[in-house]
Amino acid sequence: MVVSSLSLLMLATLPYATWAIPAVHFIAARAVSVSTPLGTAQGTLDVDGANRFAVRYANSTRWAPSAVVTEWNLPNGSDDPTALPLQCPQINVDPSTYSEDCLSMILYVPVNLTADSPASTLVWIHGGSFDSGSATFPGLDGSNLAVATDSIVAVIQYRLGALGLLIPNGSTNYAVEDVINALKFLGQVLPSFGGDASMITLAGQSSGAGMIRTLLAAPSASSLFRSAILQSDPMDYGFLSLDTQAQLQSTFNYLVSCSASDTACQMALTLDEILNAQVTLENEADDLFPSTGQGEPLHPVLDGQLVTTPLDSTAPFPAVSKPLLLTNVHNEAGPTIYNLVFPGPDPIPAVEFEPVVDASLGANRTAIVMSSPFYPVDPNGDARVPLQVLGTDYIWRCPTWTLARNWVANGGSAFVGMYTVGATYPLNADIPYCLEDGVVCHQDDIYIVFGTAPDPTPAQSTLTAEMQTRYKAFIATGNPNVPGLDPWLPATTSDVYAKEFGVETTPNGEVPIRACTPSFWGEAVQYDYQFFDI
């Protein structure tokens, strides 16, 4: 049997919680308040010059649909406007830092905004493989970004793992509906903060970008935002099929020993019991249901009701109109190859390349990869070098470029980019490969976008200024081009014009197509969503 491509390469949105990174601590200053249709919003001045408001945006009980709140309340029943929301339940973090009452967001509002000058809003959706992460994780203080872009920045949370995506009665996509309710909440309150509810841009990294792709495939969400920024979306996964979701759900119900209809049993489960069953399922999912993969076995479902199109190459592409920014980093697969698959400092013999690819892709796809010119193997070199390039192309870069071509062919606009400068994210700090000059690993774009890199180098500061300037233009106009910066050409069906951001490695600053030609990945070699007929 062919093992899922993620069983060894496991090129995924790496779970934040695995490393138990502590939440960011913010410095509070003076209290502020704003009158909204839902009541008085209490907040505080953030250290970087924006007013910060934490708020519960929706209510829900365990494994029930969420509903938008009707009153403004601080998260977790707090009466302290400087308090930050607890995370949603997840593994490998202190239980005192999470709660099932976690449908909260943090608004960052520049102090000079008024209701007389409506501003755009950037809604950030965190990553973490849909089973970890939060609005308070490293680098996600949106104050600097809000001030730099003259916009409101909202960083949101949504139910994770089994609590958001494994509903015992067979319902699906509750985590997606949580995000939709966050957008509905913002639609009600943004004008009170000087925002224009019709000018919302979604942005997210890794599985956060995957969540945005899900919303792009959900017609009922279309009116809630007007543009989107997808950073490092592992698009190779596609969505889960209803059949695979049903098998995952049945297995989970067995693991917690609760039937689909036994709500008393479900409500009596402890969070430890739920999380332990979730981990067992995630560890076994790839062997039981190969289309899920190990890196992100729980993710949104193509249910035909909320999510109505795969938004990939397996079905007719819908008509679209929203502008997109689609970016990757230069070495997306670095943390996986150099830390998870082959940890340690020693090189891996070149002869290991083909067996790893074969175990991941199966014989037919491996034969095509091995005979192609795209992944040369130095007989005396380190097998991790071509594996990293292969993983980056296969899971992230090439499916992103395929989406860009499909998007513009069906009415939308797309701007494609690649980070060649980054700022090391905490999860990568102990991976020697990710600290090498010129290497930009998965998640190393987060600090750049938010302007939160500790002690930034001149190159990092320059890139942060450029990307925040481009984001400011994009969220206001749908176009990231501004006077004084090099042109960023929009993608076409024949050339995505992927622009390098940071250090130009080619004369014109355009990323070479290489294996991302339409005739290779997605045609000669199928993506997983094609191979498994998701």
| pLDDT tens per residue, range 2-12 | 333 333 454 44
Instruction: Map tokens 């190859």 to a residue.
Output: 337
| Predicted confidence band of residue 114 (pLDDT cuts 50, 70, 90) | low
Report the pLDDT value the prediction gives residue 491, as an integer from 0 to 100.
98
CA distance 529 to 534: 5
Q: Please state the separation of Cα 527 from the chain's center in Å.
A: 19
What is residue 294's predicted lDDT score, i.e. its pLDDT? 66
Q: Are the C-beta atoms of residues 394 and 301 closer than 8 Å to each other?
A: no
Given a cut of 50, is residue 452 above it in pLDDT? yes
Nearest Cα to 286, choosing from 13, 5, 15, 534? Answer: 5
Burial status of residue 331 (CB atoms within 10 A of its CB: 0-12, 13-18, 19 or more)? buried
Please say if the pLDDT value at position 84 is more than 90: yes
pLDDT average, residue stretch 200-208: 98
Separation CA 448–CA 89 (nearest Å):
28
DSSP secondary structure letter of residue 213: H
Mean pLDDT within 317-330 = 98
Q: Report the percentage of the chain scoring pLDDT > 70.
A: 94
192 is catalytic: no
The amino acid at residue 297 is: P
For the segment 229-256, what is each residue's pLDDT rounded down to a tens digit? Answer: 999 999 999 999 999 999 999 999 999 9
Spacing of C-alpha 167 from chain mean position: 22
- Give phi and psi for 521, each to the nearest 5: -65, 130
Q: pLDDT category, 474, cuts 50, 70, 90?
A: very high
Of the candidates 129, 134, 206, 360, the residue annotated as catalytic is 206
Percent above pLDDT 90 for the chain: 87
Average pLDDT over residues 93-103: 97
What is the reported pLDDT for 25?
38
Residue reference for tokens 């059949």: 243
Residue 348: CB partners within 8 Å, gap ≥ 6? Answer: 342, 382, 383, 384
Asked whether residue 507 carries a pLDDT value surpassing 90, the answer given is no
Question: 40 has which bridge partners?
Answer: 35
Averaged confidence pLDDT in the chain? 93
pLDDT value at 26 more than 70: no
pLDDT for the residue 533: 80
Residues 341-367 have pLDDT tens digits of 999 999 999 999 999 999 889 999 999
Is the Cβ–Cβ distance between 181 and 103 less than 8 Å?
A: yes
DSSP 424-440: --GGGTT-GGGGSTT--
Label residue 459 by pLDDT band (50, 70, 90): very high
* pLDDT in the model for residue 115: 62
Does the structure show a pLDDT above 90 at 73?
yes
Average pLDDT over residues 62-88: 97
Asked if the model's pLDDT at residue 532 lies above 60, the reply is yes
Amino acid at 378: D
Domain edges within the chain: 9-330+396-534
Point out the least confidently predicted range of 110-119, 167-176, 205-214.
110-119
Q: Is residue 278 a contact partner of residue 285, using CB atoms and an 8 Å limit?
A: no
Gap between the Cα atoms of 491 and 401, Å rounded? 9
The pLDDT of residue 290 is 87
Q: In terms of CATH, what superfamily is 9-330+396-534?
A: Alpha/Beta hydrolase fold, catalytic domain (3.40.50.1820)
Give the pairing type, strands 31-36 and 39-45: antiparallel
Question: Hey, what are 387's tokens?
Answer: 């594996």
pLDDT (average), residues 36-56: 93
433: confidence class by pLDDT, cuts 50, 70, 90: very high
Is residue 144 a contact partner of residue 226, using CB atoms and an 8 Å limit? no
